[in-house]
Structure 1
Amino acid sequence: MSDRGIDELRTLREYDAEAPPLDNATRDRARARLFAAMSTTSATDRTAARPGRRPVLRIALTGGIAAAVAAGVLIGVPDHDKDGDGARAAGPGTSSPVMRNVSARTVLNDAAAYERKHEKAVSPRDDQFVYTKEIIQETNQETGARKSYVDEDWRSVDGSQRSWVMEIGHGWWSPPLQKDESMWPPQDWGTLRKLPTDPEKLILSFLHKTGPDDRNDSLDDITEQEWSDIHFSLAGLLKLVPVMPEGLRPAAYEALGMVPGVRAVPNQKDAKGRTGVAITYDDPTIPSGKGGYGGFFIFEPRTHRFLGFRDERTSGDGADMKRYVQLSYLDSWAVVDKAKQRP
């Protein structure tokens, strides 16, 4: 590993941001993914660096190490909202008139259609920054204590300049990637622009972890473990890249709906208290009850417009274990010329 990779791992280990340490089970899952990444990654591979979710540091490490470290920090919450497709039937409808027994694929295809109709085309220059403002609410499940954060990021469009990034109120300068470093899923627009906007081709790109790919593979040949990895990449793309080139987010929604194990759960509250239908994922490659990456993607129950995310974080062991629910949504975004410049 490069000196920078070691430094970033040290940063990740020492990072606090008022967040309690990981519990043992979470560390075990992260450690397992770390060893798996280390054993399958060569120095020249552009392997999948699994993205984290709040409050994980969203930093790029060489190879597949960042993904493995970040993978275990957040776990899926119990079924509340959202509905999914992917060979799993949704539960029966509730007494709410807007809640329907609808498949995950239906929700995600509708979300894709809504996005295509309403998305704002944007073509930032390589020397610009994408500004995003995100609102996060974190609630202690036992005490009900709630904390709110406003996170503002300025990400270099082509990754050549340092970016300002925040995680639950803690901000820092993230240096640009070096020539021997890469990030997967990608966040630089040069790579994002090249990703296919056809959902099947997007899945195959994530299968090979190489970006655009012309190989004529069949989705029928994808293994259970590969589907788990594909889901991780799709969920990471949708969570970590709030602003994308035109057509990519709709394709990612449709691709997510094709992942076996993705399902819909009704009556999920978002950060604004709105009741929606959620999409979550039952990962068959991890023990039942251990949770998985992705949490809930919450959608408006009629139009299936995307509302926000719900995740759960744990800390401590045994009687000292604490559980936190995190709700978040994108408040605003813009393309600006300088880091720290507000629109």
Structure 2
Amino acid sequence: MDDLTAVREFEADVAPLTGDARFAARARLRRAIVREGRPGDLSRRLMLRVAVVGTATAAVAGGAVVAGRHHGDGGADGSRMGTLSAAELLHKAAARSRADSAGTPIPRDDQYVYTKMFITRTYVKGGKRRTWTDESWMSVDGSKPSRRQEYGKVHRDPPLGKHQVMWPPTEYAELAQWPTEPDELLQRLRMGKGGDDRMAFVNAVQFFVVPRAMPPGLEAATFEAVALIPGVRTDREAVDALGRQGVAVSYPTFDFAFLFDTKTYAYLGLNVDGGTGEMVDGRMRLRDRYHELRARQETGVVDRIGQRP
């Protein structure tokens, strides 16, 4: 069976994919081909990984796939955020990000980005709840091995250039070349002329899925770029994995969202719905659907793996 046939047969035992899911799958494959630079040399493992991630519309980790639709209605709840539009909220979040990062020293190439993430997952059937505290140490310039946790499992990543395609990049020096002007950044997130706003939103989320050191102004510019996307909306009844009250910002039909603090506008994490997936006879089967909350607890730059800020 060829790779594209395997991808098409993902649908065989699940509900038909939405247009957004198909779009995201194509976007993932297109990014991989662009980054690889040799379309004919893409491995089966990479192609299937890209297709599954695209179908999930966010990320795959340990067989988990994200799918579905977000149902926030954007209604006011009487709080100070009740009168803010999604774009206004994102601009305030950008201002908070710039304030928090002011004066932060530029990391050295030989250092590591430390990230601590708390994750809760509640399964739709039965209400079972699982939690993880993931810590990661990512090489700033990608020249050293990194140690990354996903749902409690430790991954020892080789230096960049020796593992699979990753986009957006994680190397600090490469990200430092990205524009911090919102209009220019939005075009980069759209992947040029062939992309659109849905692709831009997916790529903006990817900045926060895999730990990385963000150069000054890039995180803030990402929020401002998302603010330029028509149709982004808010859900003012969101709560993060640590129980903090927040407001979620999402794109219609995508079931993942940025979450911001209701009082400080600080970025808190991501909320997603999904399910575990597995390949059976070349086909993707989805089961055990869940609601997942991902809270960013701490970030910093350290000198060695195992060290904390």
TM bucket by the smaller chain?
Answer: 0.7 to 0.9
Q: How far off its partner does 1:39 sit?
A: 10
Letter in 2 for 1:314: G
Q: How far off its partner does 1:149 sit?
A: 0.4
Say whether residues 1:281 and 2:257 are aligned partners.
no
Partner residue of 1:336? 302
Partner residue of 1:146? 129
Partner residue of 2:210? 240
Letter in 2 for 1:340: G
Task: Specify which of 314, 320, 323 is matched with residue 275 of structure 2.
Answer: 314
8 A Cα contact 2:198 2:251, kept in partner = no
| Corresponding residue pairs, total | 274
Q: Which structure: greater helix fraction? A: 2
**SS in structure 2 of the partner of residue 41 of structure 1:** helix
When structure 1 is superposed on structure 2, of 185-194 and 175-184 the one drifting more is 175-184
CA RMSD, 1 decimal = 3.4
Partner residue of 2:234? 264
Partner residue of 1:112? 94
Say whether residues 1:70 and 2:32 are aligned partners.
no
Alignment of 1:285-304 (within 5 A): 291-292=253-254, 295-304=256-265
Partner residue of 1:325? 291
8 A Cα contact 2:24 2:199, kept in partner = no
How far, CA to CA, are the matches of 1:200 and 1:255 in structure 2?
A: 6
Q: How far off its partner does 1:204 sit?
A: 2.1
Q: How far off its partner does 1:65 sit?
A: 6.5
**SS in structure 1 of the partner of residue 222 of structure 2:** helix
CA shift digits 1:84-115 (9 cap, x unpaired): xxxxxx63323x54451421100100100111
- Which consecutive residues of structure 1, in runs of 5 or more, have no partner in the other structure? 1-5, 7-22, 48-60, 81-89, 210-221, 283-290
Quick one: structure 1 residues 201 and 165, their matched pair in 2 at CA, closer, same or farther if it must change by over 3 Å? same
Letter in 2 for 1:328: R
Letter in 1 for 2:185: L
Quick one: structure 1 residues 189 and 46, their matched pair in 2 at CA, closer, same or farther if it must change by over 3 Å? farther
**SS in structure 1 of the partner of residue 190 of structure 2:** helix
**SS in structure 2 of the partner of residue 127 of structure 1:** coil
Letter in 2 for 1:341: Q
Letter in 2 for 1:260: P
- Which consecutive residues of structure 2, in runs of 5 or more, have no partner in the other structure? 4-12, 40-44, 57-64, 279-285
Letter in 2 for 1:156: S
Letter in 2 for 1:33: A
Alignment of 1:60-139 (within 5 A): 66-71=49-54, 72=56, 73-76=65-68, 78-80=70-72, 91-94=74-77, 96-120=78-102, 121-139=104-122
8 A Cα contact 1:137 1:149, kept in partner = yes
Quick one: structure 1 residues 158 and 149, their matched pair in 2 at CA, closer, same or farther if it must change by over 3 Å? same
TM-score between the two structures when normalised by the length of structure 1: 0.69
Q: How far off its partner does 1:341 sit?
A: 3.0
8 A Cα contact 2:28 2:53, kept in partner = no
How far, CA to CA, are the matches of 2:31 and 2:214 in structure 1?
A: 32
**SS in structure 2 of the partner of residue 302 of structure 1:** coil
Q: How far off its partner does 1:44 sit?
A: 5.4
Quick one: structure 1 residues 170 and 31, their matched pair in 2 at CA, closer, same or farther if it must change by over 3 Å? farther
Task: Specify which of 12, 19, 24 is matched with residue 14 of structure 2.
Answer: 24
Q: Which structure: greater strand fraction? A: 2
Q: How far off its partner does 1:31 sit?
A: 10
Between the aligned residues of both structures, percent identity stands at 32
Letter in 1 for 2:122: T
TM-score between the two structures when normalised by the length of structure 2: 0.76
8 A Cα contact 2:25 2:53, kept in partner = no
**SS in structure 2 of the partner of residue 338 of structure 1:** coil
Quick one: structure 1 residues 77 and 141, their matched pair in 2 at CA, closer, same or farther if it must change by over 3 Å? farther
Q: How far off its partner does 1:258 sit?
A: 0.8
Alignment of 1:205-224 (within 5 A): 205-208=188-191
